[in-house]
Amino acid sequence: MKIKTRWVAVFVFAFSFLVCQQVKAASIAGKVVEVNEGDEITIFNLNRNVRIKLMAIDAPEKDQAFGAAAKQHLFDLVNDKFVSVEYQGVGQRSILIGRVLADGNDICAQMVRDGAAWFDASNQNLLTQEQRDIYYQSEQAARSEKRGLWQSGDAVAPWEFVKAQELKKASTPTAVVTSGNLNEPPKHSRPVAELTSMGLLRTSGGVARPLASLENMSWADGSISRSWRKFQASGENFSVMVPDGGKEAEQELSYDGRTLKTSYYAVIDGTSVYHVAWLKVPSVGETDAVAMQNMVRGFLAGLNESLGALSHSFECEASDSRNISSGGFMGREYELTGCPAPGIVRIYTKSMGDQRSFLSAVVFFKDETENVQRFLKSVSVGASKSEVKKTKTAQ
């Protein structure tokens, strides 16, 4: 039982990378299909719509001055684009709260920088210190340059506007109002005539440049036409055909006083997500069959934990196991059912002295195209050239 718990813990970490969802800041990706408000969008992810509240910012309310302009500006920045969302929690009405990233930029910070939203310091604990500094500096720059809503000189923060509206409702007599003046918004909340949705950024001589430049997200853009290539990580004993232009990265995990390194390659091609992960962990004397069983359990635990942050209506399961052992590795292929999209995973394991090596090749797809099988059938495991040479030298 102790061994089982140990492996599950390791693989909850290792495979939470799946479907663009990561450990430190779980994430999803999708195409923006609607801009709901100045700080709220809807993306299409894995055959369903997911609503997103932009984290740590607050745009003017829809019935507040600049509300329409802020919404239009967000529309111009992200509509119909492929975005990644690093989410930190779930708010009211099951809306995800997260940072929206597009074209290498933090859209939340960009909205603040362009004078289309306030930095909401009440949520700054969701950001890193570096991010907090960027958001704060973005607002200060927009203020000093009188961009967007700061042109008026008497901009009212949305939370103050909402509070004022609530107080106004509470103090309004229940008798029939004979003058429309009582329902007019405060003078300071009226739009400035020259500030229109299209002209929001045309202040101080030009468009504000982003202060926060992030990683290139082209690897997660399914609309890009990709060529295929043979992928083989340096020093590893496997290879696989993958769509080019993907993201290769690694992350360290402190576990039992040791530092374990998890590496992965991820890419989206069309409507399919391709993911390869490899990991070496200390061996505890378990058989390949036991290690495989625990790996599958851990794989599903990590995947379902990530999906659970989005919806509890999904419960991925592995079925129709098939033996694909090769090159001294025990290998099994499983169909993934109950997930937001169909998937297939190939898992390999082998004990090598005091270490155990694991490899997974996973694909989620809308339609099972030739490329899905091309990816899976190309997985090759076995001794690397350096290992073969080392073995021959020893003999």
SS3 label, residue 17: coil
**Domain 224-394 falls in which CATH fold?**
Protein Transport Mog1p; Chain A (3.40.1000)
What pLDDT digit, counting tens, does each position of 277-333 carry?
Answer: 998 888 877 899 988 988 888 788 777 766 665 555 678 899 888 999 999 999 999
Q: Can you list the alpha helix ranges (DSSP code H) found in 89-201?
A: 107-113, 129-144, 158-171
pLDDT category, 173, cuts 50, 70, 90?
low
Nearby residues of 386 by Cβ (< 8 Å), 6 or more positions away: 235
Q: Architecture of 27-189 per CATH? A: Beta Barrel (2.40)
> Are the CB atoms for 64 and 28 separated by under 8 Å?
no
Give the integer Cα–Cα distance in Å for 126 and 101. 16
Mean pLDDT over each residue of the chain, to the nearest integer: 77
Q: What is the pLDDT of residue 257?
A: 54
Tokens of 28: 């999803």
Look at residue 112 and tell me whether its pLDDT is greater than 90.
yes
The ranges of the chain annotated as CATH 3.40.1000 are: 224-394
What pLDDT digit, counting tens, does each position of 224-235 carry?
Answer: 889 999 999 988
pTM: 0.55
Which residues pair with residue 287 across a beta bridge?
A: none
Torsion sign over Cα 75, 78, 82, 83: negative
The number of residues making up the chain comes to 395
Look at residue 199 and tell me whether its pLDDT is greater than 50.
no
Of 10-24, 38-52, 236-250, 341-355, minimum mean pLDDT range:
10-24
Long-range contacts of 326-332 (CB under 8 A, 24+ apart): 326/380, 326/381, 326/382, 327/237, 327/380, 327/381, 327/382, 327/383, 328/381, 328/382, 328/383, 329/357, 329/359, 329/381, 329/382, 330/288, 330/289, 330/291, 330/292, 331/381, 332/292, 332/296
What pLDDT digit, counting tens, does each position of 53-65 carry?
Answer: 999 999 999 888 8
The ranges of the chain annotated as CATH 2.40.50.90 are: 27-189
